Amino acid sequence: MIERKSKQIDLLGESVYLFERTAGQVYAFSVYAKENKVSGSDGLMLSVGILRDALQPNIDGLKWYEIAKRRKYKKLFNVNYLFNKLTQSQLSDYITIIIEDLEGNKKKVEAEEIASI
């Protein structure tokens, strides 16, 4: 089985991995961005969704008996929690890692411009 590219980061004091998104996740995001007129503030929320998609394999890879870690990750990866806890520059840095380093897209990404990807 082919492994997803990943990079270890420190997210709000917790060491986790960012993974490249699946083709389906990238496609769903691009369709949503094209069908809806996304403004700058909407782009911030969408970028949090991209971050959550890149963090989800951390939960999927847990064993059934790792219940405490699963609960902690579910809270940490919650879209509203991330939106309220991360600064705009942190979010932009994480999105840049996902899109440039893991997915190979060399376009410079800012959180406000996320809808144009």
Tell me what the pLDDT averaged over the chain comes to.
84
pLDDT digits (tens, 9 = 90+) for 55-104: 999 999 899 899 999 999 999 999 999 999 999 889 989 998 888 888 77
Q: What is the pLDDT of residue 11?
A: 93
Answer for the pair 73, 113: CB distance below 8 angstroms, yes or no: no
3-class DSSP string for 15-66? EEEEECCCHHHHHHHHHHHHHCCCCHHHHHHHHHHHHHHHHHHHHHCCCCCC
For residues 10-16, average pLDDT: 93
Q: What is the pLDDT of residue 26?
A: 87
